[in-house]
Amino acid sequence: MSSTDKSCGCGDYPLLKSIKNPVEVQALDKEEQAQLAHELRQCIINTVSKGGGHLAPSLGVIELTIALFKCFDFDNDRIVWDVGHQAYAHKILTGRYENFHTLRHKDGISGFPRMAENKYDHFGVGHSSTSISAILGMAVANDIEGGDRNCVAVIGDGSMTAGQAFEGLNQAGGMKRKMVVVLNDNEMSISANVGALSSFLSRKLSHPVLTRFKKDFEGILKQIPKIGDDLAMYAKRGEDSFKSFFTPGMLFEALDFTYLGPIDGHNTEALIDVFEQVKKLDTPVLVHVLTTKGKGYAPAEDNPTYFHGVGSFEPETGMAAKFKGGLPSYTKVFGDTLCKLAAKDDKIMAITAAMPEGTGTDCFSKTYPDRFVDVGICEQHAVTFAAGLATMGYKPAVAIYSTFFQRAYDQIVHDVCLQNLNVNFFLDRGGLVGADGATHHGVFDMSFMRHIPNIICMAPKDEAELARMVRTAIDFDGPAAVRYPRGVGVGADMDEFPSVLTIGEGELLRDGSDGVIITVGSRVWPAVEAVEELDIEHGKSVAVFNTRFIKPLPEKQILELTKRFKNIVIVEENAMAGGFSSAVVEMLVDNNAIDGHNIKRLGIPDEFIEHGTQKELRAEIGIDTAGMKIAMLELLNK
Ligand SMILES: Cc1ncc(C[n+]2csc(CCOP(=O)(O)OP(=O)(O)O)c2C)c(N)n1
């Protein structure tokens, strides 16, 4: 692309090119709105097809985004997109069209709204169900200031299942604060949405059915002694109130929201009509919008779960661009191992918080449907639910991404560890995740688990060790956690049936005489590579010790090593503050074993790491093979 070319690099989009300011959307007529929707869709499909991203959620809200920009002025008004994975159209319309081709690339546009990125990103998101709380805060501040801002949250039906969403609704209804919640209901979370709320929302009674049912219902109500007449009177208030009694409005109106809907979320005119009405209301309003996930792109409409967050693909067919054969992902190894163990132990249960595919528990759900539970996007609940199961002798395996596990900190401490229950946590995406960026890196789990009594924490060096750790965790009679990285294994030989590890025992993978790298998890094999290169390139003999356990640390083995080696590099893919390397150093201090040593710690510094590939980020932070070599050479040359 030439430097003068102002297209996003993925096609020709005259209308997108011409919009310099989001307020210009307000001037578009009906035909231009349709053209805009078409161009947004094509631009998003083409861009995501090249570098991956959240396609289906973004395609589902194109008309909704246009209608919101048409009716609201986001220079003054405020908008919070829940999760923010659906905000690609918002990004394009708010001055990021020309750079949209950098989506999710290092130093490019983030995959989620970020306040630091653009003034129209009014709140940073990535974890779900925060939008109502945040927009309520903005609405209250607006009131205190005597402002006239409209405050809008857009939240999906999946994200609405989380407790925090209801905490927000509860406060907002109680305060009767003017604000708008748009419920984007596509009946999908990443997979099909689950739980009573989702069944409730999908009750869309057709008119003839309603009418017949209304008559029968009035009759039934009248038969109830004493209160029957009153109830029947309520039901008689007319078709509308009757309808709302049985449709989702009932729930939100009980929370003191004015309910409007359900509305066809792909009919821009209808949406505009409603939002114009909404602006005149002085109450909390919930606008219930029905959309199709992946709308306008047949492969995504047909398979919204696959296209929820997708890698690169052929735009014409939707086929994955690269054949992802070869090495198994850690996710799959975990899922397969759990199934293998569950075949021999009917007390094992699998729990996911709305991510069966992402956590590899989808195979378990098919093989052992009675022992599988998807709780929805409710990580805290998942942990306490598992604690309850454990009190009854079950061995729950709670499979969660490391980053979302952060939500459940108190439940881990109070409900699981304090009661020393046999709950097992399998934390996928531990470490740097790549393109999803700061909201999704799982770089705090070692820090927030290792100080909790009773729990044991492990991180595997490869897929074979992961399988052994899964078994070790389940066999251990108490809380256990295994955290493993995003991506594929290294091609390790798998046990026929995974063996059990000795708790708190590490392994000396390479011996040496000049120094030692002490590490764990994803950094172990890169450390081995580093010492091999140090040997070949610099004639240095460096050992590698894999602790396997973050807690309990293999103290004796590490203390033995410190007797032999003066030069020690400690490496982790976790925040150094309170993480693995600080655990090792604390232990050395407590054992008076630190004096006379050269120690260098490598890990995630005290800052949030943005998006980029895992390779780029590890290199930049200096926790890759090259970084370890440099660190060890510095110590050896001291
Ligand atoms: C706390 C938390 N848990 C899990 C996720 C992973 N996640 C991202 S989007 C999503 C589904 C959201 O469904 P919904 O709100 O209905 O939006 P849709 O994708 O259907 O538009 C999930 C589970 C997350 N972002 N945050």
d(CA 547, CA 521) in angstroms, rounded, equals 9
d(CA 211, CA 215) in angstroms, rounded, equals 7
Nearest residue CA, atom 22 of ligand 1? 190
Query: Ligand 1 centroid vs 548 CA: distance in angstroms?
Result: 32
Nearest residue CA, atom 25 of ligand 1? 127
Dihedral in degrees, nearest 10, Cα atoms 334, 335, 337, 339: 160
For residue 372, the Cα-to-chain-centroid distance in whole angstroms is 20
For 126, counting Cβ atoms within 10 Å of its Cβ (0-12 exposed, 13-18 middle, 19+ buried), the class is buried
Specify the 3-state DSSP secondary structure of 98. coil
Pair 549, 505: CB distance under 8 Å: yes
- Using alpha carbons, select from 525, 384, 380, 543 the residue that is nearest to residue 463: 525
Mutation probe of ligand 1 site: the residue of 159, 194, 301 with most atoms within 8 A of C-beta: 159
- Using alpha carbons, select from 354, 340, 92 the residue that is nearest to residue 198: 354
Domain 330-483 has CATH 3.40.50.2300: no
Q: Which fold has domain 507-636?
A: Rossmann fold (3.40.50)
4 band by pLDDT with thresholds 50, 70 and 90: very low
Mutation probe of ligand 1 site: the residue of 157, 377, 411 with most atoms within 8 A of C-beta: 377
User: In the chain, what percentage of residues exceed pLDDT 70?
Assistant: 90
Atom of ligand 1 nearest to the CA of 86: 21
3 band by pLDDT with thresholds 50, 70 and 90: very low
d(CA 300, CA 274) in angstroms, rounded, equals 28
Put the strands of the sheet holding 542-546 in their side by side order: 507-510, 542-546, 515-519, 567-575, 598-604
Quick one: pLDDT at residue 249? 82
Atom of ligand 1 nearest to the CA of 440: 25
The two structure tokens encoding residue 65:
């985004």
Query: Ligand 1 centroid vs 159 CA: distance in angstroms?
Result: 6
Mutation probe of ligand 1 site: the residue of 83, 90, 191 with most atoms within 8 A of C-beta: 83
What is the per-residue DSSP string for 371-418? GEEE--S-HHHHHHHHHHHHHTT-EEEEEEEHHHHGGGHHIIIIIIIT
Residue range 297-326: average pLDDT? 90
Atom of ligand 1 nearest to the CA of 407: 1
Quick one: pLDDT at residue 237? 45
d(CA 446, CA 529) in angstroms, rounded, equals 24
Query: Ligand 1 centroid vs 612 CA: distance in angstroms?
Result: 21
- Using alpha carbons, select from 549, 512, 460 the residue that is nearest to residue 635: 512
pLDDT digit string, tens, across residues 471-488: 999 999 999 999 999 999
d(CA 383, CA 65) in angstroms, rounded, equals 35
Pair 56, 308: CB distance under 8 Å: yes
Distances (CA, A) of 282 to 16, 76, 183, 568: 34, 17, 19, 64
Atom of ligand 1 nearest to the CA of 291: 21
Residues identified as active-site: 293, 379, 407
Residue 362 predicted with pLDDT over 60: yes
Residue 628 predicted with pLDDT over 80: yes
Mutation probe of ligand 1 site: the residue of 64, 82, 128, 193 with most atoms within 8 A of C-beta: 128
Nearest residue CA, atom 21 of ligand 1? 57
Query: Ligand 1 centroid vs 185 CA: distance in angstroms?
Result: 12
CATH code: domain 14-204+247-302 is 3.40.50.970
Which residue bears the tokens 């054949």? 323
- Using alpha carbons, select from 342, 392, 386, 344 the residue that is nearest to residue 365: 342
Query: Ligand 1 centroid vs 478 CA: distance in angstroms?
Result: 30
d(CA 42, CA 608) in angstroms, rounded, equals 33
The two structure tokens encoding residue 151:
């405050």
Quick one: pLDDT at residue 193? 82
Quick one: pLDDT at residue 322? 67
Nearest residue CA, atom 19 of ligand 1? 57
Quick one: pLDDT at residue 190? 87
Residue 321 predicted with pLDDT over 90: no
Quick one: pLDDT at residue 235? 43
Q: Where in the chain is the domain with CATH 3.40.50.920?
A: 507-636
Query: Ligand 1 centroid vs 266 CA: distance in angstroms?
Result: 21
d(CA 392, CA 372) in angstroms, rounded, equals 16
Atom of ligand 1 nearest to the CA of 354: 23
Query: Ligand 1 centroid vs 72 CA: distance in angstroms?
Result: 25
Specify the 3-state DSSP secondary structure of 263. strand
pLDDT digit string, tens, across residues 35-54: 999 999 999 999 999 999 99
Whole-model pTM? Answer: 0.92
Put the strands of the sheet holding 78-81 in their side by side order: 78-81, 151-156, 179-185, 284-290, 258-264
Mutation probe of ligand 1 site: the residue of 190, 305, 375, 428 with most atoms within 8 A of C-beta: 190
Query: Ligand 1 centroid vs 621 CA: distance in angstroms?
Result: 29
Which residue bears the tokens 């040359």? 637
The two structure tokens encoding residue 540:
């240095």
More confident residue, 248 or 137: 137
Rg (CA), the chain: 27
Quick one: pLDDT at residue 191? 85
Quick one: pLDDT at residue 476? 98
More confident residue, 468 or 8: 468
- Using alpha carbons, select from 93, 108, 112, 96 the residue that is nearest to residue 50: 108
Q: Cβ < 6 Å from ligand 1: which residues?
A: 57, 60, 83, 85-86, 127-128, 156-159, 184, 186, 188-190, 293, 308, 353-355, 377, 379, 404, 407
Q: Where in the chain is the domain with CATH 3.40.50.970?
A: 14-204+247-302, 330-483
Q: How far apart are the first and last CA of the chain?
A: 48
d(CA 334, CA 338) in angstroms, rounded, equals 6
Nearest residue CA, atom 23 of ligand 1? 354
248 band by pLDDT with thresholds 50, 70 and 90: confident
Which residue bears the tokens 């708008």? 180
d(CA 559, CA 557) in angstroms, rounded, equals 5
pLDDT digit string, tens, across residues 406-446: 999 999 999 999 999 999 999 999 999 999 999 999 999 99
Residues comprising the chain, all counted: 638
Query: Ligand 1 centroid vs 270 CA: distance in angstroms?
Result: 26
Quick one: pLDDT at residue 198? 75
- Using alpha carbons, select from 9, 184, 164, 1 the residue that is nearest to residue 79: 184
Query: Ligand 1 centroid vs 290 CA: distance in angstroms?
Result: 17
Atom of ligand 1 nearest to the CA of 54: 19
pLDDT digit string, tens, across residues 437-476: 999 999 999 999 999 999 999 999 999 999 999 999 999 9
pLDDT digit string, tens, across residues 372-405: 999 999 999 999 999 999 999 999 999 999 999 9
Residue 176 predicted with pLDDT over 70: yes
Q: What are phi and psi of 127, to 5 degrees?
A: -90, 145
- Is residue 39 within a helix (H) or strand (E), and if so which, with residue range? helix 30-51
For residue 356, is the peptide bond before it cis, meaning its omega torsion is within 30 degrees of 0?
A: no
CB atoms within 10 A of CB 141: 13
Average pLDDT, the chain: 92
Residue 633 predicted with pLDDT over 80: yes
